[in-house]
């Protein structure tokens, strides 16, 4: 499971190895997308956290217990519909069933409400039709 969040560190937490602890104690992989941290000041990290759901929940609870504000980031996935050839590759990759193809029209349909922003469709589309944008929610 992948979750995008903004981590806001209070002044007294920026020097602690909280992100290191996420990796070592909770087996969470961290992909830092954007960082705004200065020594001695509060800081923000936009990150993707990847782990088993339970480990992810435990790791986020650990951050919150240590004074870090964890803000979910909503991701907006879209695709360029006019070029879609309805090959179904992205449907196979989308385990949340946000992408479907079926009767009666056998065309690709996207349900944003089911999208968990895992980005697997971005890699699976041979025509590279998918885009992802981030916005703090």
Binding residues (CB under 6 A) for ligand SF4: these are 77, 79, 84-90, 93-94, 96, 98-99, 108, 115-121, 124-125, 127, 129
From the CB of 76, what's the least distance to ligand SF4, in Å? 10
From the CB of 124, what's the least distance to ligand SF4, in Å? 6
Q: Indicate the residue among 45 and 125 with the shorter CB distance to ligand SF4.
A: 125
In 37-136 the beta strands, taken as DSSP E runs, fall at 43-50, 69-79, 99-102, 107-110, 130-136
Q: Indicate the residue among 13 and 87 with the shorter CB distance to ligand SF4.
A: 87
From the CB of 105, what's the least distance to ligand SF4, in Å? 13
Q: Exposed, middle or buried, 60 (CB in 10 Å: 0-12/13-18/19+)?
A: buried
- The structure tokens listed for 20 are 């290191």
Q: Indicate the residue among 73 and 87 with the shorter CB distance to ligand SF4.
A: 87
**Helices (DSSP H) in the chain: which residue ranges?**
18-26, 53-65, 89-93, 120-124
Q: Indicate the residue among 44 and 89 with the shorter CB distance to ligand SF4.
A: 89
From the CB of 70, what's the least distance to ligand SF4, in Å? 21
What is the DSSP code (8-state) at residue 18? H
> 47-57 burial string, b = 16+ CB within 10 Å, else e?
bbbbbeeebbe
């Amino acid at each position: 499971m992948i979750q995008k969040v903004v981590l806001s560190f209070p002044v007294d937490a920026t020097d602690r190895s909280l992100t290191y602890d996420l990796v070592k104690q909770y087996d969470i992989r961290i992909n830092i997308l954007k960082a705004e941290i200065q020594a001695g000041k509060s800081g923000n990290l936009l990150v993707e956290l990847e782990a088993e759901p339970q480990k992810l929940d435990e790791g986020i609870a650990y951050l919150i217990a240590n004074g870090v504000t964890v803000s979910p980031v909503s991701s907006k996935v879209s695709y360029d519909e006019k070029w879609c050839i309805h090959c179904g590759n992205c449907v196979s990759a989308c385990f949340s069933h946000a992408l479907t193809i079926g009767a009666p029209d056998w065309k690709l349909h996207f349900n944003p409400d089911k999208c968990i922003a895992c980005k697997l469709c971005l890699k699976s589309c041979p025509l590279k039709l998918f885009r992802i944008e981030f916005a703090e929610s």
